[in-house]
Each structure stands twice: as structure tokens, then as C-alpha cells.
Amino acid sequence: MTRAVNRADLDEAHAEFYAAFEAGDFDRMSAVWADGPYAAGVSCVHPGWTMLRGRDEVLRSWALIMANTSYIQFVLTDVESDVYGDHAVVTCKENVLTADEETEAGFLAGGSIVATNVFVRADGEWRLLLHHGSPVLNGADAEEE
């Protein structure tokens, strides 16, 4: 029973990460990430970026991204999670739809990213320790492997 509760809490924390991003809500995004003794080890690789390390640096990147993203929506597929005591790994495919509402045509773009999200359970709550997103450059090639 405890394992099922932990898995449900993990699923909720994972979903909240994407919901915070879609909402462009920096406070919600900040609450998702680990802090305290884990703050220095918080890490993030946005697609095409170099590694960011440390809670402050990672959160600055999210503030910048959210300030420059007028619309984003995620449809997550292939979600797999594994719990190892107080650590968990969630992998998924992010099917992303973005729009630029500032252009006259309302530019719309889509793409796919494979993501690894590592969580740590701190004070009974799952908090994000690492997010690594890598673009899928050619969907046809990926499906052939």
C-alpha cells in the first residue's frame, strides 16, 4: 500500500512540473524543485543548452524561458517511473506544442523531446532534482531503432 501511495505522489509531482510550465507560473515551478540540502545539486539540461547546476541558476533559466513563452502545451507519452527508496526516475516523451501569440499569424510549432526527471523525497514530498530534455531530431529514425 505504501508503494502505491508513493507512486501516486510521484505521479502528481511529475504532473505538477509540466502544469507549472504550461501555466507560466514561476512560484509553482519553484515549489517543484528540491531545495535545502539538495539545492546545490539541482541540475537541468534544456534541449540544446549546456548543463545548469544549482537551484538558483536552474530557476533563473525557468524564469527566462517562461517570460519568453506565450503558449506551451505538453502531451506526455511513454511515461515510465521507478522508485528507489527516496529517489525516483521518471522518463517520458514530451510532445510539445508552442505558439507565438505576438506574431500576426500566431506562429505554431511542435516537436518531441525525450526527458529524464529525477526526484528526491524530502520531508515526505517528491521534489525535482534533475530535468534533462533532449530533442528528438527525426521521429522516423527514432522509430526504426
The DSSP result for 89-100, as a single string, is EEEEEEEEEEE-
The pTM score is: 0.87
What's the pLDDT at 1? 40
How large a percentage of the chain has pLDDT more than 90? Answer: 78
What's the pLDDT at 110? 82
Please state, in angstroms and rounded to a whole number, the distance separating the CA atoms of residues 67 and 83.
Answer: 33
- The Cβ of residue 23 has, within 10 Å, a number of other Cβ atoms equal to 13
Alpha-helix runs per DSSP H in 1-54: 2-23, 26-32
The residue with cell 510549432 is 109
Q: What is the pLDDT of residues 27-46, one digit of tens each?
A: 999 999 999 999 999 999 99
Task: Kindly state the helix (H) or strand (E) to which residue 67 belongs, with its residue range.
Answer: helix 55-67
Determine phi and psi for 54, rounding to 5 degrees: 105, 135
